[in-house]
Amino acid sequence: MDYLAEVTMAILHKQMARDPEKGYAADFVQQLSDVLVEAVEKNITIISNAGGVNPLGARDAVERVAAELGMADKVRVGVMLGDDIYPQLDELIEGGEELRNLDTGAPITDIVEVVLSANVYLGAAPVVKALEMGANVVITGRVTDSGVTLAPMVYEFGWAPDDWDCIASGIVAGHIIECGLQATGGNFTDWEKVPSWVNMGCPIVEAREDGTFTVTKHAGRGGALRHRKRGKCR
């Protein structure tokens, strides 16, 4: 479940500045409360970057929901930390890190007074670790868009960190479905060929150990998919 855009981080930082218990995607908690019982019963693991700038706050909210649903003993929440470097900015600058703008080359010191958030992108590895430790709900802060999809593939199939073709395949799969309905006809040059724009189906990735995957959607929903063959990573 993908909730974060770059501007979202700044918005969440402003929210947390007003209320230290906020700073995560609150709608994630509501949506989770609707599906948590069934997810646990069907052994479905939920991975989300909804932690924003306050993953521990999101964890606490999820655990409260689990308790209200009578599932406190069945929900194991894993939290990924370390992406938020906002509190360390002064220390990093003093240590010689210039954090230059990729476009202009200007150092961050030129704008540091107005910086609202500062996060590094973490990858799939810490999410995989949480899965290995038995978490069935994983909450992250800023992680790569594809990381929340790649991680369960690495965990489930046992891909090595240097199995580059399979890793690349998982990254591609993640980047496809993180775009949501854009992948099922919403962003399509030949838009007039999409049979229906009503109630479009969200993309589903069915992945296999050899790195191949199929993108599909629920039957009977609007949108469109184009089929293309691709090779295996093994």
Task: State the Rg of the chain over Cα.
Answer: 20
Which residue stretches of the chain have pLDDT < 70?
227-234
Left (φ > 0), alpha (ψ -120 to 50) or beta: where does 42 sit? alpha
Would you state the pLDDT for residue 179?
A: 86
What residue spans define the domains of the chain?
A: 6-84+119-158, 159-234
Contact 55, 81 (CB under 8 A): yes
Would you state the pLDDT for residue 9?
A: 86
Would you state the pLDDT for residue 10?
A: 86
Distance CA 79, CA 36 (A): 17
Annotate 72-138 with three-state secondary structure. Answer: CCCCCEEECCCCECHHHHHHHHHCCCCCCCCCCCCCHHHCHHHCCCCECCECCHHHHHHHHCCCCEE
**Residues in CB range of 91: below 8 A, 6 or more apart:** none
pTM, whole model, 2 decimals? 0.89
Would you state the pLDDT for residue 85?
A: 93
From the centroid of its chain, how far is CA 211?
Answer: 20
Would you state the pLDDT for residue 188?
A: 84
Would you state the pLDDT for residue 225?
A: 86
**Which tokens hold the place of 54?**
């306050």
Would you state the pLDDT for residue 229?
A: 55
List, as own/partner pairs, every contact residues 85-88 make where C-beta atoms lie below 8 angstroms and the sequence separation is at least 24, other chains included: 85/118, 85/119, 85/120, 86/13, 86/53, 86/115, 86/117, 86/118, 86/119
Distance CA 97, CA 100 (A): 9
